[in-house]
Structure 1
Amino acid sequence: MPKYKPADYEVLRRRCVELDQAGWKQGPIAQALGLTQGWVSQTLKKYRQQGPLALQWRKPPGAPTRLTPDQLCQLVEELNKGAEHQGFAGAVWTRPRINEVIKKLFDVSYDPSQVGRLLKKIGWSRQKPQPKARQQGAGAVAQWRQERLPELKKS
């Protein structure tokens, strides 16, 4: 059975109805379109009940958003203040930490796996650790390599 994109099904539904109106049986229609007989049956049933509107592609409805655009702006402001400002040890934001802030501010809870989707929506990307510490001084590193490293290699 071929894999179709969701929008392709509108074309298939229209073709299904055309073949039905041309006198084809459901089995041959399903075989010609590469779909199941149940799909053909449901498509024809919806067409009989709702007419041509039943054939149109519609974006599947999702759950309504739990945070308003204003709340998302407020969340960005709070996150920009930093994790330590919110009472966390360290400056790194994690999904569970962000979820705690959302709970505290808006009394809304998300599954941590969905916090990443929310962050993408507000334009945040995941944090990547820096390869070396910002606070690291080049002079101190050079001195450590000259003095301490040879001692460690000896033992």
Structure 2
Amino acid sequence: MIAKELRVSVRSVERWRRAWREGGTEALRSAGPANSPTITGAQFAVLEEELGKGPSAHGFDDERWTLARVQVVIRRRLRVSVSVATVWRLLKRHGWSWQTPARRALERDEHAVELWKKEVWPRVKGSRPSPGPGSSSRTKPDSP
């Protein structure tokens, strides 16, 4: 009945009871989350130093840091395995935030973009057929 009320297995209740008999209420105290790797302040300082070197210093093709790339650096340099979600929480806790590019791509051709906006887009935009009688895109049925 206790197991059902707590929505746990009977085996868990038996284990807790045995621990309580052998060590009292202190034996029931939580030891924290299981298998939760922590990164110390000193380790995070090392990580920040590594991130400061840039992604290319760690073998990545471009200069973008992603959570997955930071995860790889943590695993390689600190020898700690953490999830991508944990990487995000770790960075956020230490004041890091996500960033977006502040400028347009170097490959962008402004003349080609303007030409496309003036000549191609009006044709694409205007080429949609208007809904006719019996069209499935109509929202109201014909009234008698």
Alignment TM-score, normalising by the size of structure 1 = 0.48
Structure 2 CA distance for partners of 1:70 and 1:51, relative to 1, 3 Å: closer
Distance in structure 2 (CA, Å) of the matches to 1:86 and 1:37: 46
Query: In structure 2, what is the equivalent of residue 74 of structure 1?
Result: 46
Query: In structure 1, what is the equivalent of residue 119 of structure 2?
Result: 151
Give unpaired runs (5+ residues) of structure 1: 1-26
SS at match of 1:34: helix
Question: Do the aligned residues in 1 keep the contact of 2:74 with 2:80 (CA within 8 Å)?
Answer: yes
Distance in structure 1 (CA, Å) of the matches to 2:103 and 2:26: 60
Distance in structure 2 (CA, Å) of the matches to 1:148 and 1:83: 35
Distance in structure 2 (CA, Å) of the matches to 1:96 and 1:84: 14
Once the two structures are superposed, residues 99-150 of structure 1 have per-residue CA deviations (whole angstroms, 9 ceiling, x without a partner) of 33334434x2526xx143134224334x3645xx61369xx858943x4532
The answer to whether 1:101 aligns with 2:73 is yes
Corresponding letter in the other structure for 2:70? I
Question: Do the aligned residues in 1 keep the contact of 2:67 with 2:88 (CA within 8 Å)?
Answer: no
More helix per residue: 1
Q: Percent identity?
A: 24
Question: How many residues align structurally?
Answer: 116
Question: Do the aligned residues in 2 keep the contact of 1:99 with 1:109 (CA within 8 Å)?
Answer: no
Structure with more relative contact order (C-alpha pairs < 8 Å, separation 6 or more) = 1
Distance in structure 2 (CA, Å) of the matches to 1:93 and 1:79: 8
Distance in structure 1 (CA, Å) of the matches to 2:32 and 2:15: 17
Q: Which runs of 4+ in 1 moved over 6 A?
A: none
The alpha carbon displacement at 1:50 in A equals 1.7
Once the two structures are superposed, residues 45-88 of structure 1 have per-residue CA deviations (whole angstroms, 9 ceiling, x without a partner) of 33322234335x32435337475432221111221343234342
Give unpaired runs (5+ residues) of structure 2: 125-144
RMSD of aligned C-alpha atoms?
A: 4.1
